[in-house]
């Protein structure tokens, strides 16, 4: 057990409901088996393809293509074969090879353009939320207001916003409290409360004040607001290649150089063997393009863009691709208890009678005394009495002769005074100390087991509420209500999935160790940190990182900022402070702390997709080798015809079939690259074996089938077969 004696208040959680989202269609939190299935817009949506086509041709600029070495080689090969075909206009084979090489380059560019196109559509939606506003800037003495364009605001300026005003820039509320419409950002129509101090002080430029008056301190420059950053991120302008992506690019470039040298050396051997005519520059170019890993080279950028897009679909903004990639390698997950693992509001779990009172009588009194309690705990008592004991839910209006006692923080009790058959009856429910004192003041005596039962509930991590009554028989305690911080449904199963993935889960709470242990055991987390202060979170993260682990955590307050900055994946809540959002490398627009589990799954899916398609790409080059090499040298070396295991019709048909397959397989795999490979919570060795079996073996078999089918079709064309 991780524990220390320093006290800290339990972090206040935002109760704003999960947003639907304006960035992209948003659904309920997925399980591990659903992560791969949701994509905004299909690849073969004609409108999306048509919009992306100009961008695809624009990406053929050699200055852009050179950043992707594999496809740059294909582009050079396309130009070379086209020039050779122009020199010999009657050579149908040269024209066919040139055409399919150009299609290979266009398909690769189209894959990236489609991935970016979805982000640009989301960015257009955000641009509509940007408006040029006039700000009411306060003078240095804070007494006079000056109207200035929002673009002239500087960091540190104070601006006044009242009902109906558009907030001119990102900042923190330093005075007042107001209801704010943030639907332009989150898609959630329900307004949220923003107030000075605490963890709900951050406001975003472009949102609208609905009520009251607030003074906002500007924290960002014009053009660098949260909406501006969102636009750049979702449309891909701010996307940088991740370390793993760079390393894979280097590997692909190295393989390309090796195959280039190998193909160049074939020409002298062919001349020596008398197969010079079969190894023309067009044939050698076709061989090179088929042998280098064009499939993953074409899809690599699209995979990275799609990974960030899947986060945007869930209303999460990753400030860099590195953060998404790190999420896939996370081995330790820090989760707040309240609002993440538990519902956040304690719910009635059972009624415990004392002194010979029946459970039904206790439930009736508990429900009656809770009708004036509008807190979530009070509502849950009414519901439990109704569901467990069949008591219909009564309403305050039904008791016309009743005097209601509402729950307050001062009295810590609620109840009702009624008159039944001419006799007065008072019922109270509340904190043990307050209700026990109420009974004692009225001359009543506490049952012997009241203290024992309340202590037992407290030690078990629950909260005891005492129910008492005063009637003609005097004042007495009827029993105790056991309130529990209810663990969210399905959390144990999700933690079990994370455990199978090799991820350690640690619950962070300000509760005492006994309460923390009870919740941790029920939820199924691996460990917990109780009575957690900000410095304790930092120390825990550093200890985990010192052991070579990557750590992810969520936070919303200024006191979370150091830990968010220290964590490898820091997810800041949009409802939190500006300091928290600046410190984290992801922002959850829905402010749903449970989203961290989804983020880890999306990160892992990105890494799995990249690895699986790399395996497939390298494996399918082997089949193309068996198609082209026999076609090139079988004339000079008849024994090589034994390698023509596919029985291809002719040398020209074999080479052309391989080139056509090389282009079409890119198109076939684009949906998988954008959607992502199906994610399963498996251990690393099992996942490796599965991907080698599915994508490695599949990469070997599929080209044999595809090239043979294309060859059969080509052989039917007169003059070719």
- Strand 423-431, strand 463-471: pairing: antiparallel
Task: Show Cβ contacts of residue 495 under 8 Å, excluding neighbours closer than 6 positions.
Answer: 505, 523, 524, 525, 526
Cα angle, residue 266 at apex, residues 632 and 107 outer, rounded to 5°: 70
CA distances (Å), 627 to each of 94, 105, 215, 265, 638, in order? 18, 21, 72, 19, 15
Task: Show Cβ contacts of residue 257 under 8 Å, excluding neighbours closer than 6 positions.
Answer: none
Is 190 annotated among the ligand-binding residues? no
* Other CB atoms within 10 A of residue 82 CB: 16
Between CA 366 and CA 414 the distance in angstroms is 10
Given a contact cutoff of 8 angstroms between Cβ atoms, the answer to whether 630 and 652 are in contact is no
Which is it for the CA torsion 345, 349, 352, 357, positive or negative? positive
Q: Tokens standing for 386? A: 């109704």
Cα angle, residue 80 at apex, residues 77 and 84 outer, rounded to 5°: 135
CA distances (Å), 527 to each of 479, 498, 533, in order? 34, 13, 17
DSSP-assigned letter for residue 642: G
Is 413 annotated among the ligand-binding residues? yes
Is 412 annotated among the ligand-binding residues? yes
Is 359 annotated among the ligand-binding residues? no
Q: What does 177-233 look like in DSSP terms, one character per residue?
A: EEEEE-HHHH---S-EEEESSTT--EE-TT-EE-SSEEEEEE-S-TT-SHHHHHHHH
Give the catalytic positions in this structure. 336
Element (H, E) at 312: helix 294-313
Is 407 annotated among the ligand-binding residues? yes
- Which of 454, 439, 428, 420 shows the shortest CA–CA distance to 373? 428
Task: Show Cβ contacts of residue 617 under 8 Å, excluding neighbours closer than 6 positions.
Answer: 293, 294, 295, 296, 297, 699
Is 408 annotated among the ligand-binding residues? yes
Given a contact cutoff of 8 angstroms between Cβ atoms, the answer to whether 589 and 21 are in contact is yes
Provide the H-helix boundaries in 462-550. Answer: 491-500, 513-523, 534-546
Q: Tokens standing for 439? A: 């009974």
Q: Looking at beta carbons, which pairs linking 390-396 to residues 24 or more positions away fall under 8 Å? A: 391/363, 391/364, 391/367, 393/367, 394/367, 394/368, 395/371, 396/371, 396/372
CA distances (Å), 638 to each of 269, 646, 707, in order? 16, 16, 22
List the beta strands (DSSP E) in 364-407: 403-405
Is 429 annotated among the ligand-binding residues? yes
Task: Show Cβ contacts of residue 557 under 8 Å, excluding neighbours closer than 6 positions.
Answer: 11, 12, 198, 199, 576, 577, 580
Given a contact cutoff of 8 angstroms between Cβ atoms, the answer to whether 610 and 672 are in contact is no
Task: Show Cβ contacts of residue 461 under 8 Å, excluding neighbours closer than 6 positions.
Answer: 484, 485, 511, 514, 515, 516, 517, 518, 519
Cα angle, residue 521 at apex, residues 519 and 525 outer, rounded to 5°: 90
Is 82 annotated among the ligand-binding residues? no
Is 711 annotated among the ligand-binding residues? no
Is 409 annotated among the ligand-binding residues? yes
The full length of the chain comes to 721
Is 143 annotated among the ligand-binding residues? no
Which is it for the CA torsion 708, 714, 720, 721, positive or negative? positive
Angle (deg, nearest 10), helices 321-328 and 243-273: 90
Q: Tokens standing for 694? A: 């599915």
DSSP-assigned letter for residue 338: B
Between CA 569 and CA 719 the distance in angstroms is 61
Residues annotated in the binding site, as ranges?
Answer: 373, 377, 407-414, 429, 556, 560
Residues annotated in the binding site for ATP, as ranges?
Answer: 373, 377, 407-414, 429
Residues annotated in the binding site for Mg(2+), as ranges?
Answer: 556, 560
């Amino acid at each position: 057990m991780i524990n220390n004696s320093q006290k800290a208040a339990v972090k206040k959680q935002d109760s704003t409901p999960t947003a639907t989202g304006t960035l992209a269609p948003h659904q309920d939190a997925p399980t591990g088996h659903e992560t791969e299935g949701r994509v905004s817009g299909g690849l073969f949506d004609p409108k999306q393809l048509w919009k992306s086509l100009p961008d695809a041709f624009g990406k053929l600029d050699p200055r852009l293509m050179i950043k992707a070495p594999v496809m740059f080689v294909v582009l050079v090969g396309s130009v070379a074969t086209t020039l050779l075909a122009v020199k010999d206009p009657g050579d149908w084979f040269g024209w066919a090879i040139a055409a399919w090489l150009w299609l290979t380059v266009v398909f690769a560019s189209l894959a990236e353009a489609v991935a970016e196109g979805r982000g640009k559509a989301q960015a257009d939606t955000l641009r509509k939320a940007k408006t040029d506003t006039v700000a009411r800037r306060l003078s240095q003495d804070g007494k006079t207001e000056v109207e200035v364009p929002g673009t002239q605001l500087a960091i540190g300026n104070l601006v006044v916003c009242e009902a109906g005003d558009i907030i001119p820039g990102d900042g923190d509320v330093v005075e007042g409290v107001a209801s704010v419409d943030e639907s332009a950002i989150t898609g959630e129509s329900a307004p949220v409360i923003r107030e000075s101090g605490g963890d709900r002080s951050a406001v975003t430029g472009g949102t609208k004040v609905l009520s009251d008056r607030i003074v906002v301190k500007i924290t960002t420059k014009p053009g660098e607001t949260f909406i501006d950053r969102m636009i750049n991120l979702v449309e891909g302008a701010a996307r940088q290649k991740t370390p793993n992506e760079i390393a894979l690019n280097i590997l692909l470039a190295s393989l390309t150089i090796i195959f280039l040298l190998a193909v160049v050396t074939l020409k002298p051997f062919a001349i020596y063997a008398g197969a010079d005519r079969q190894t023309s520059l067009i044939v050698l170019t076709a061989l090179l393009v088929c042998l280098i890993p064009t499939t993953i080279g074409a899809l690599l950028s699209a995979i990275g863009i799609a990974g960030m897009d899947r986060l945007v679909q869930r209303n999460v903004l990753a400030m860099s691709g590195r953060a998404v990639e790190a999420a896939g390698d996370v081995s330790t997950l820090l989760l707040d208890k309240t609002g993440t693992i538990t519902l956040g509001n304690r719910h009635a779990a059972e009624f415990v009678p004392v002194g010979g009172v029946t459970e039904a009588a206790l439930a009736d009194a508990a429900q009656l005394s809770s009708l004036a309690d509008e807190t979530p705990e009070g509502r849950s008592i009414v519901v439990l009495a109704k569901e467990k004991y069949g008591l219909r839910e009564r309403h305050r209006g039904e008791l016309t002769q009743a005097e209601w006692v509402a729950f307050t923080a001062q009295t810590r009790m609620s109840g009702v005074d009624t008159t039944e058959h001419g006799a007065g009856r008072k019922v109270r429910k509340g904190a043990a100390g307050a209700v026990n004192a109420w009974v004692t003041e009225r001359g009543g005596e506490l049952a012997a087991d009241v203290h024992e039962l309340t202590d037992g509930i407290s030690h078990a991590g629950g909260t005891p509420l005492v129910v008492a009554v005063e009637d003609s028989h005097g004042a007495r305690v009827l029993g105790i209500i056991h309130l529990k911080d209810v663990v969210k449904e399905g959390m144990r199963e999700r933690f079990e999935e994370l455990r199978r993935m090799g991820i350690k889960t640690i619950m962070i709470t300000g509760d005492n160790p006994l309460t923390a242990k009870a919740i941790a055991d029920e939820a199924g987390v691996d460990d917990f940190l109780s009575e957690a202060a900000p410095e304790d979170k930092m120390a825990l993260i550093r200890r985990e990182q010192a052991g070579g682990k990557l750590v992810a955590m969520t936070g919303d307050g200024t006191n979370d900022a150091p830990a968010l900055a220290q964590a490898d994946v820091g997810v800041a809540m949009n409802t939190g402070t500006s300091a928290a959002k600046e410190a984290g490398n992801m922002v959850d627009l829905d402010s749903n702390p449970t989203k961290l589990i989804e983020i880890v799954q999306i990160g892992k899916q990105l890494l799995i997709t990249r690895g699986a398609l790399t395996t497939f790409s390298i494996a399918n080059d082997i089949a193309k080798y068996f198609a082209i090499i026999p076609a090139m040298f079988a004339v000079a070396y008849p024994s090589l015809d034994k390698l023509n295991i596919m029985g291809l019709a002719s040398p020209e048909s074999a080479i052309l079939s391989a080139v056509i397959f090389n282009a079409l397989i890119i198109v076939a795999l684009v949906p998988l690259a954008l959607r992502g490979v199906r994610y399963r919570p498996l251990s690393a060795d099992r996942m490796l074996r599965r991907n080698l079996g599915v994508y490695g073996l599949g990469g070997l078999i599929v080209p044999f089938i595809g090239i043979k089918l294309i060859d059969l079709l080509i052989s039917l064309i007169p003059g070719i077969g």
